[in-house]
Amino acid sequence: MVTGDLEKVLSLLLSLSCRLLRTEAALEDLSAENHHTRLPLLEKKQQLLAQLMEARELKEHVDGRQRAVCKALGGSLTPEQLRDYSHFLRMKAALLVEQRQLEDRIRLLEEQLRALRESLPSGNSPPSGLGYY
C-alpha cells in the first residue's frame, strides 16, 4: 500500500507542478494590460499553489508511513534485504519522475511537430518514407 500511495502522491505532485509551470508561462506571455485573461490565470495559479501545498503534506504523510514500514520490516528482514527495499522505494520514485519528464518531452516534441506540419504550405509535405509519421 505504501508503494502505491507513493506512486499516486508523486504523480499528483508532478502533475500539479507541470500545470503550475504552464500557468506561470502563460502569465508571462500576457501583457499587464490584458486583465480579462490575466485574472483567471492568477486565480488558477493560486489554486494550484494551494493544491501543491496539500500534495506536499500528503507526501510527508506517506514518507512517515514509509519510515514506519521500514522500521517494522527491520525486525523481519536482514540488513541487506532492508537496504534492497529502501533502494527499491528510492528507485521507484526516481523512475516515476524520469517517466513523467520523458512523457512531457514527448508531448512537447509532438506539439512542435504538429506546428511544423501546419506551417508547411499545402502540397509541400515531407516525403512519407522518412519514418516521421
Per-residue confidence (pLDDT) for residue 46, from 0 to 100: 96
C-alpha cell at 68: 514506519
Query: Could you tell me which of 114, 122, 93 has the C-alpha nearest to residue 13?
Result: 93
Q: Is pLDDT of 132 > 60?
A: no
pTM exceeds cut of 0.75: no
Percent of the chain with pLDDT over 70: 90
Check residue 28 and give its pLDDT. 87
- State pLDDT tens for residues 16-65: 998 999 899 888 888 767 778 888 999 999 999 999 999 999 999 999 99
If you ran DSSP here, which 8-state letter would residue 77 be given?
S
pLDDT at 100: 87
Question: What is the number of H-type helices and E-type strands within the chain?
Answer: 3, 0
C-alpha cell at 6: 507513493
Give me the residue spans of the domains in the chain. 2-112
pLDDT at 2: 86
Percentages (nearest 5) of helix, strand, coil residues in the chain: 85, 0, 15
pLDDT beyond 70 at 131: no
Q: CB-based contacts of 117: which residues, under 8 Å, 6+ apart?
A: 125
